[in-house]
Amino acid sequence: MTFDAIGIAGSAMTVHRKWLDAISDNIANINTVTSSDGAAFQERFILAQAGEDGGVFVAGTVQGDAEGRMVHEPEHPLADADGYVRYPDIDLGAQMSSLIMAQRGYQANAAVVDRAKESYQAALQIGRG
């Protein structure tokens, strides 16, 4: 049972870490500019799926919309003839909320691993005693 808890929490930590990686990518590229005829940076989303062993795993990633948002910046070197450039359509507030959730999930699962390890060590001490 202890090893199950460690495995399940460990798999969740992996999913949360990949989620944190995707969020950090999204935040880092929130101001990435492309020309109006190019595709905007596409926000990444992580798809998690329940495993048969009780854990979870990353089932894949989904890309956001490449349409982005057009901004009038005629002085920008990538601006088209009408003065427009393309930015990703990423909401910083939503990214920060997701960041907090992913971080808390990672921390909670790390705590489960620590508690399970302590329980296992206590059981070993009882067995030796």
- For 34, the domain range is 2-128
The encoded tokens of residue 124 equal 């070993």
Q: Please give the tally of structural domains in the chain.
A: 1
Angstrom distance (rounded) from CA 57 to CA 46: 10
Q: Name 111's Cβ contacts closer than 8 Å, sequence gap at least 6.
A: none
Spell out the per-residue pLDDT of the chain, length 129, in tens. 556 888 899 999 999 999 999 999 999 999 999 999 999 999 999 999 999 888 999 999 999 999 999 999 999 999 999 999 999 999 999 999 999 999 999 999 999 999 988 888 888 888 786
Q: What is the pTM of this model?
A: 0.86
